[in-house]
A and B are shown apart, each in its own frame.
Chain A
Amino acid sequence: DAGITQSPRHKVTETGTPVTLRCHQTENHRYMYWYRQDPGHGLRLIHYSYGVKDTDKGEVSDGYSVSRSKTEDFLLTLESATSSQTSVYFCAISRGLMGDTQYFGPGTRLTVL
């Protein structure tokens, strides 16, 4: 299994509070991704990174920001959480090209009340 951890694994927060999710990899892979999974929507890309300090938006980036200061860490921040951001968040990594096989972390279940 690829060395990917996510923290926290579960979080309950209130509307309007900031939330940061962390993804940590030990594989030294170049690409890192944040997805959210919702019923009826499958996996949707939020943001991705193609190197340290190099990030770009995915299809559902509104309300989210990311940072990558080290190869191994990719942070997802909800500046002001809303109930629509209640979801399961997955981090993924890939060695090379963006369409290359991606390996996923265990997920973070976030509930915004």
Chain B
Amino acid sequence: DQQVKQNSPSLSVQEGRISILNCDYTNSMFDYFLWYKKYPAEGPTFLISISSIKDKNEDGRFTVFLNKSAKHLSLHIVPSQPGDSAVYFCAASSQGGSEKLVFGKGMKLTVNP
């Protein structure tokens, strides 16, 4: 049973526009969420995280929103740049981050110049 779902496998946006990547989870015990970005032939790199005590966290062009009642989080990238083209993984953990991370399947973002 997939606990972290990234239902859209890909997204294509124009440079300068907003990219919105979505993630849903089923385990109500999850309380810490992360986004990772992965370029081809490289390992994933940490992008941004959010704790369940917050509903928003910003870091430059990246903002993560958490809707606990809907068990949904989203990553907004504004403005999108061609260098943002990558696969993005959503991940979640429980017990304040003391449990193993559970990853979604990933979503490929393409930002067109």
Q: Is B46 a contact partner of A102 (Cβ separation < 8 A)?
A: yes
Question: Which residue of A is nearest B105, CB measured?
Answer: A42
Chain A: residues with Cβ within 8 Å of the partner, total of 23
B83 located at the interface, meaning its Cβ lies under 8 Å from any Cβ of chain A in the complex: no
A9 to chain B, nearest CB (A): 9
Taking residues whose C-beta sits less than 8 angstroms from the other chain, chain B's interface range is 20 to 34
Q: Is B46 a contact partner of A101 (Cβ separation < 8 A)?
A: yes
Q: CA A58 – CA B103 in complex, angstroms?
A: 13
Pick from A45, A100, A106: contact of B43, CB under 8 Å: A106
Interface flags for B95-113 (1: CB within 8 Å of A; 0: not) read 1111111011110000000
Q: A residues engaging B (CB < 8 A)?
A: 4, 35, 40-45, 48, 58, 90, 92, 97-107
